Amino acid sequence: MSVIETTPSREGLPLLVIPNCVPVMVKAFREFLPEFDGICRVRLFTDTMLDEEVLARRMKGADAVIVVGFHVGDDLLRTMSQTVRCIAFGGTGVDNYVNLEQAKEYGIRICNIVHYGDAAVAEHAIALLMEITRRVGEMNADMHEGVWHPLDGMELYGKTMGIVGFGGIGQWVARIARGFGMNIKVWSRHPHEEAMRELQAASAESIHDLFASSDVVSLHLAYNRNTRGIVTADDLDALRAGSILINTARAELIEAGSLAKRLEKGDIYAGLDVFDREPMPEVDPLRVVPGTILTPHAAWCTDTAVRNAVRQCIDSVRGFYTGEATNVVV
């Protein structure tokens, strides 16, 4: 762990603390820190610490905090509220990470980031899909071991891509899938009539209908109290043999435990970037069930998306100090 500080001697300036950091974001944060010169002091911790007591100590005396990858529980929020008046989250779905009503009562501004990595996540969803259908990684490993063994693949042309949630990421996935010659079918909680027309997408009556009628289903819903477990075991059972499920959104969208049970049947495939517990525990049924491609919540990790995320965090905090409102949720 290292600590990067700007103008630590100017104690008259307010204090921004970044109490932990994802390694891929450190470079971008360091690049943008000079933008706070004369506005506030900055204290950036470059490790991935998640312990609440340690985080609380690190944030002591801060006026503003950038939160990266940890939940702000009610007790931690209460402690932070002694001095903190702005929390900028380096991610989306902020209401899953902090009690917004409690933050409002404390007079704390809450900011999030939006559409920072739509293309990145969509491309990763397609990468998971391509690994399942064309098995490039598997053949590459064989080739490096001296094994010449072409593997059967699955052609996507003419297949149906079912998309659950049709915001920025879902629409990007649809555009790529259309490029493959796939048919698009959508279930969404919000109307997106112009995008539906543009992408010649059909509308599914229900999530169950989408699962039953698609060759590939990709999840792109925001996770909140209304969408938790929205994909049920019955929906998963509706998948036809040979179907593929892609999830780069949130694991909690799927009814707890139901995906592993469905995969145990061995007749469908799944490409997963998100899990109920992260990092994924060593003992987890999804590690051993057949037909899975797993990645460690990496869909957002591109140079452009990381820079966009950090840029929005910086702008949110600068706006707080300069009297502007950028990506304010509360």
Residues annotated catalytic, as ranges: 250, 278, 297
Cα distance between residue 22 and residue 76, in whole Å: 20
Count CA within 13 A, CB hemisphere, residue 97. 19
Residue type, 271: G
Residue type, 323: G
% helix, strand, coil for the chain, step of 5: 40, 15, 45
Cα distance between residue 284 and residue 23, in whole Å: 25
Write the CB contacts of 242 (distance below 8 Å, at least 6 apart in sequence).
154, 215, 267, 268, 269
SS3 of 113, please?
A: coil
Cα distance between residue 20 and residue 50, in whole Å: 8
Contact (Cβ atoms closer than 8 angstroms) between residue 163 and residue 174: yes
Write the CB contacts of 288 (distance below 8 Å, at least 6 apart in sequence).
none
First to last CA, the chain: 32
SS3 of 254, please?
A: strand
Task: Provide the phi-psi class of 73: left if phi over 0, else alpha when psi is between -120 and 50, else beta.
Answer: beta
Q: Which two tokens stand for residue 272?
A: 């997963």
Handedness of CA 33, 23, 298, 165 (dihedral sign): negative
Residue type, 258: S
